[in-house]
Structure 1
Amino acid sequence: MAGALAADPVAPLDFNLYMQGKFVYERNCIVCHGQRGDGNGEMSPTLKPKPRSFREGMFKFRTTPYGMLPTDDDLRRTITHGLSGTAMGAFSHLQSDEVEAVIAYVKSFSRRWRKPENYAPTMEFPAAPEWYKTAEAVKTHALEGKKLFATNCAACHGEKADGKGAAAVTLKDIWGLPAAPADLRQPHPRCGDGPEDLFRVLATGLSGTPMVSFEKVLSEEQRWDVIAYVLSIRLPSGPVL
């Protein structure tokens, strides 16, 4: 069963909320994301990866299907928890009303938020299997996951899962920028640290990038096996560069 829609695409603009969001954005976000929300803020040239442009209405981290708009909860999670390995820090100092306001303001940058066809119900994600609680079982599933990884993921992420697969140098996102595959050995993935976080990405993909959903490519059990493998190669302090 699917969850609620991302939001109401025909809800009238709350002008006071918009103005409060503009104030919060200009105090906290504009230096990276830019006055026009195009990712070309003052700090942008020095940052890798480049700050997200909000103009296209594409967001990587969601609980909705690939290409669909995120929910307010998805945006709230990114704002308050940040994205590891990027300049997007955790804005946990913001009050809840400030977060709600800046979410409303961010939506004003793209017309995609005005079109009902860009909305979809949230997907439901299962909890990690019970075998994740047993070290020996995880090792067994990781061996299966390694085989699946080699077939389905290594071309981009590399045989060592270091983000240096044969296809990596050719990949670009919808903004025409290099879309370097993630180094999956990192101790803190951008999506979150837990197996459920990794499962969510395999189910939804990362909109605007070559990382599509594997929901129809790998079974639920196979995805958990791949995740067991990825967790087994994670380096406690990150890879040596």
Structure 2
Amino acid sequence: MLTLASALAAADQTAPQALDFNLYMQGKYVYERNCIVCHGARGDGNGELSATLKPKPRSFREGMFKFRSTPYGMLPTDADLRRTITHGLSGTAMGMFSHLQAEEVEAVMVYVKSFSRRWRKPENYAPAMKFPPPPEWFKEAGAVKTHAEAGKKLFTANCAACHGEKADGKGAAAVTLKDIWGLPAAPADLRQPHLRCGDGPEDLYRVLATGLNGTPMVSFEATLSAAQRWDIIAYVLSIRLPSGPVL
């Protein structure tokens, strides 16, 4: 039997769709019981707890989402939204909402989309990019070390200005960076054992390919080859601290 969740998952919306009022109202119910305290009644990130949280909860009103599989500047796919809702974002107040039923996740996605007009415009949609699997050399310690050494040089040239020579998020430009909401956009400390984008090589590759909408972290799709990006990823993984950095 084809359920609502499986039907929507199969479609994985990549274009505006007519609003299903019943789904919208179900999503409103889910949002008010799980999301409103942080993201606010208007979806502007100004919920009751927002003043105490760092980073600040996402405002949905601009329709800008950092973690996506779509090209820079584009809206996320439904699969991207599901991943964030169900798996959360490490290092933030956005926890895992794995207790929600699939139908509840689909409904709250519909409601979240109602906060921004960007979801109504076809030009803001794009299909998910196709990413290559991690190279086979990731399975060989000696090869990983060699690629990590090459990746360190690439990291210094392309990433250190923001993320710092030690990848600790304290690059020379870090204190000047802001996001589109005018808030400080602190570069990630890449030594952390868990990153918001995910922990695997493929998660890091996705960010390098897509960038993070609304932040100074742009896509490197046009400036670094796939091989160069994998080398950088090997370096980042090589400096990860098991228990996180000592602050």
Q: Is TM more than 0.5 here?
A: yes
* Alpha-carbon distance in structure 2 between the residues aligned to 1:109 and 1:214: 30
Q: Identify the match of residue 137 of structure 2 among 131, 148, 173.
A: 131
Tell me the distance in 1 between the aligned counterparts of 2:14 and 2:227. 31
Correspondence 1:30 to 2:36: yes
5+ residue gaps, structure 1, are none
Structure 2 stretches lacking a partner, 5+ long = 1-10
Give 1:156's aligned residue.
162
Equivalent residues of 2:164, 2:172 under 8 A apart: yes
1 CA distance for matches of 2:161 and 2:85? 32
1:135-214 paired onto structure 2 within 5 Å: 135-214=141-220
Selected match of 1:232 from 235, 238, 241 = 238
Distance 1:123 1:236, change over 3 A: same
Question: How far off its partner does 1:8 sit?
Answer: 2.7
**Counterpart-to-counterpart distance in 1, 2:14 and 2:213:** 18
Deviation, 1:90, is 0.2
Q: Distance in 2 between matches of 1:214 and 1:13?
A: 35
Rounded to whole Å, the distance in 1 between the matches of 2:58 and 2:156 is 30
Residue 55 of structure 2, aligned match among 49, 54, 79: 49
- 1:90 matched to 2:92? The reply is no
Q: Is residue 44–residue 59 contact of structure 2 (8 Å, CA) maintained in 1? A: yes
Following the alignment from structure 1 to structure 2, what is the Cα–Cα distance between the partners of residues 116 and 6? 11
Per-residue displacement from partner, 1:132-160 (whole Å, max 9, x unpaired)?
00000000000000000000000000000
Shift of 1:6: 4.4
**Residue pair 1:6, 1:122 contacting (<8 A) in 2 also:** no
| 2:65–2:75 contact (8 Å) kept in structure 1 | yes
Matched position secondary structure for 2:170: coil
Q: Name the count of aligned residue pairs.
A: 237
1:7 aligns with 2:27: no
For 1:90 and 1:191, the matched residues in 2 are separated by: 14
TM-score, normalising length from structure 1? 0.97
Aligned match for 1:18, one of 21, 24, 39: 24
What SS does the corresponding residue of 2:82 show, helix, strand or coil?
helix
Amino acid at match of 2:14: A
- Aligned to 1:206, the other structure's residue is in SS state coil
8 Å contact 2:14–2:127 — kept in the other structure? Answer: no
Question: Would the aligned equivalents of 2:162 and 2:172 in 1 still touch at CA under 8 Å?
Answer: yes
**C-alpha root-mean-square deviation of aligned residues, in Å?**
0.9
**Following the alignment from structure 2 to structure 1, what is the Cα–Cα distance between the partners of residues 12 and 80?**
12
TM score, norm. by length of structure 2: 0.95
Residue 130 of structure 1, CA deviation = 0.2
Q: Write out aligned runs for 1:100-111 (5 A).
A: 100-111=106-117
Q: Contact 1:155–1:168 at 8 Å: present in 2 too?
A: yes
What percent identity do the matched residue pairs reach? Answer: 85
Residue 7 of structure 1 deviates from its aligned partner by 2.8
Change (3 A) 1:105 1:204: same
Q: C-alpha offsets along residues 48-91 of structure 1, whole Å, 9 cap, x if unaligned?
A: 00000000000000000011000000000000000000000000
Q: Tell me which amino acid in the other structure corresponds to 1:208.
A: G
Distance in 1, Cα, partners of 2:177 & 2:140:
37
Runs of 4+ in 1 over 6 A off after TM superposition: none
